[in-house]
Structure 1
């Protein structure tokens, strides 16, 4: 699938839209993956760590939208959950979905970002029919012949054993004095800086980690067209889930929030990571030579954050983040790490204080999922970015235009267990 980097210039000035600083868009995904990978060993060798996992902070109340507002499949049944053993015995196959009540969808406090593109607050966007009566379509169209999400067709074969995580990341080291690690509080006030969809298919043959650009311009239920990140300010985690589920027309099974300070501690617990750096650069007091380098936790987070040392804005930074992700996955899922109970215990203990789970995610579910994924290797973990049609302007706002044609195919891939094939196109 092609990814366009074309950028639209600002009307009347010829300037490119200013690219705002984004957090570690890609790196956060590996934190959960490392925990899952460690789970198989933890379950066998270090059962006591289950208590550590179960003591991870939980979101207060339900984080999921109302059932009637979630994507429906096969004549109204939900996607179901397959986060049990590999035969699917541990997950619901009847399409039920937890956390269906208590949504604040669209009613959250906060001023959000302006609508910019002409859609009025509270308009909610157009509603499409078909198998799903709650598909919200955009009001302001961008580039491309295809606009908006597409509901599942009645003849789709749904992968009922798949598991989908939404990862929310914030960087308290940037937002506060570095001492506030309450990620639930940070995301609750609209400060989440990273959104990633992690897809584990029912056959457990691979893991797909897709980062979603926070400036993506798309419909937010009850608020018209906005940047994706505005969903947090307008309705907290439930509205963010509703917005992303609407985009893919697929369901989130679990939500995990991560404070990026935990990323630093995880790398240290792994004994550092090794990667190939194609371009020498300096960031503050840290210098990164060209060639093979070894990074500590502090060096790794500096390496992933830097953008001003390059002339292409975020592009080199995202590439560096991709290299770092692969290095962490390789180290976390290596035989040396997974056969060393102390290494596993240290990794889990380093990461756990910086996590927040939804109420249903506990050690039992994680360890069952880890066991069903015991044959997955680092080469089976693929990291990508949800395709866009470049940057542009919606009214007076610099935005990222979604590639709706590609997003529709991705949504179908998530629902049917063929996402790896879609992303390989």
Structure 2
């Protein structure tokens, strides 16, 4: 597998000229986020991801996360890389200063999100889900819940997970059966099984904050009867320290086509008396709140598609420059030449790059709308930006992920027979990309 080099020049062009970053960074609250600062942040993110995170990508593919007696061990180097990622402040980049964040624009955070996902998709899923859980809690949680969980999540000391799916409830969430029984002290006891929980169990952080959909006894049927709960792996004491282990346990992890380093857990709640959970917002409004996290995740998954496509393109163009095969059909050379000089290879590489850069521009522009809808002092402008952002998110999620599969497949074609050989690394990009059209909303749905 070729080394990853963040396309910083292309990213900054899209940031400045397509997302119109300088106009957006002039919004209230972003005084410390001018373009030169953004450029420096992107360059620092690139350094970390190129030197620390990207080399772990093939290692994680060959040495997947493992499960033993309820504990999950991530691949060699992942725990140390995540610690460095968190301690360097990357988890806090876009979140509010009130809870320890750096309050940078989502537009800038999106560029960094693309870089870390290109470097290592399996690794990046962990901070991605923490970002989504953070957004959901910021939107709907009580002041007490925010204060208890958000500072440690934003610092990266704790991670977040999203618990929707159950064996009988995939896309159809009205079939959710996990139940939440209210307790006299205001907490709830959670009972049920959740499947396909990305980073639902791992060894990279001190605690995992699960956001769980469940039903209270009085809930009406269907999706209008779903509530959202915070269920930590370890209970949190009043002073913020970690307390006793909660009654949530990982009973297995999946063996997957791609993103093998990312543990996809089956979580069992309440086998020993009930997992202790805390309501987010109001009862029976859980799906509404969870959609904040889901929308954040859907946008991020679209960015993942762009990220994998960029990595597949870099892999393919690097190979095409070195692989010598055949004389060019235009007669420009009497000898065999690198295949990048052949017209059909050029066509494939240009298609890969055009699709990737087009989707990048769309995603960065949508992120700018997100910043506008939260920060523009003009209410009409905020509403207009919100409508446009909400329109674009499913397009970015749907098209950019389908695009990533096409681009990764073209990358294999550029490699020819060597693309079908695992040692070159081209196949990993296609296997990793294949999940993107499925999770956080299957394309056709």
- The reply to whether TM is greater than 0.5 is no
Q: Which has the higher Rg, Structure 1 or Structure 2?
A: 2
More relative contact order, 1 or 2 (CA 8 Å, 6+ apart): 1
More helix by share: 2
> What TM-score do the two structures reach when normalised by structure 1?
0.27
